[in-house]
Amino acid sequence: MIKVGIIGATGYAGAELVRLLLAHEEAEIVWYGSKSYIDQNYADIYRNMFRLVPDLCKGDDLNALAEEADVIFTATPQGYLLSVLTKELLSKAKFIDLSADYRIKDVAVYEKWYGIHHETPELLQEAVYGLCELRREEIKKTRLCANPGCFTTCSILTAYPLVKEGLIDPDTLIIDAKSGTSGAGRGAKQQNLFCEVNENIKAYGVATHRHTPEIEEQLSEAAGKKLALNFTPHLVPMNRGILATEYATLRKKADGTLPTREEIEAVYKRYYGNEPFIRLLKAGEMPETKWVEGSNYVDINFVIDERTGRIIMMGALDNLVKGAAGQAVQNMNLMFDLPEDMGLRLVPVFP
């Protein structure tokens, strides 16, 4: 059994990790870390865990935890892990970080967008960006996995094959994404109160959202050149889910015509046809958040707009599962040479 520790176990992503790992055939949670609830019963904080989790919450003593755990998940705010992680800790346990601390390779870019001084830049080159479908072999070998963000997972996967194959002009890419409120975390914030969110939809972080450089870095690598794109997130009054709608100009073929649907479908199938958690939809079927809720699936489809010469790409996922905890468990499975879908064979919940 893999002994697992979770720092930040009482946040939404941490609680989702608990839910998934309790059903994992090869994992045992040995540490429920939460600075806010030390010595309190975990099941008193999340009553859905009544009679399932008898443990008390512990603090964030990574030195003690690394002696007990084989892998440590840090579902913590940006700036936590980069301030405490050491090579000695990494020699004792593997780490899967759900924050952005090790996602962006360029320290200056991270510090600019997050406003945090990076204290362990020497570990950035060792960290692997944990987007399983794109970095599978690297993830298997790493001891420090930077779990991608929810918006980024959806946005990157939806466009990646077409960027990589040069079917779209990546400089024209615009990403419009909607998220449920759990994406903002469990902390009390006025803008996330019921009366602020209910019966409302709003854009936020316009031209400034922190996931932008993460998306740009990964798609720049795919494009083979540095990209700058527009990413605009919106908050919608639902608990879970992300829907990304992405627009780009199609590159014409040598004969001056646009790629056909069949040609683009073939590219998506080549990249994702055998992926356990990516579902490519039929023509005319649009991704919807309700059909992925509670699961580790990403639903993807597209429409060609021949009138404008553009393509509209769409992706949907559950921000707490494939966008956070589920992908983290998927990364753990890869890092410990387990079946990639172990503990993640989740049927989407409906209604």
Task: Pull the structure tokens for residue 124.
Answer: 């950035």
Positive/negative CA dihedral, 256, 261, 266, 268: positive
Select from 44, 261, 275, 289 the least CA-distant residue to 177.
289
Q: Which residues of 108-138 are buried (b: 16+ CB within 10 A; e: fewer)?
A: eebeebbebebebbebbeebbbbbbbbbeee
- Which residue has 């870095």 as its token pair? 217
List active site positions: 150
- 179 neighbors 289 (Cβ within 8 angstroms): no
Q: Which residues of 46-71 are buried (b: 16+ CB within 10 A; e: fewer)?
A: beebeeebeeebbebebeebbeebbb
**Exposed, middle or buried: residue 284 (CB in 10 Å: 0-12, 13-18, 19+)?**
exposed
Cα 321 to Cα 343: distance, rounded to the nearest angstrom: 12
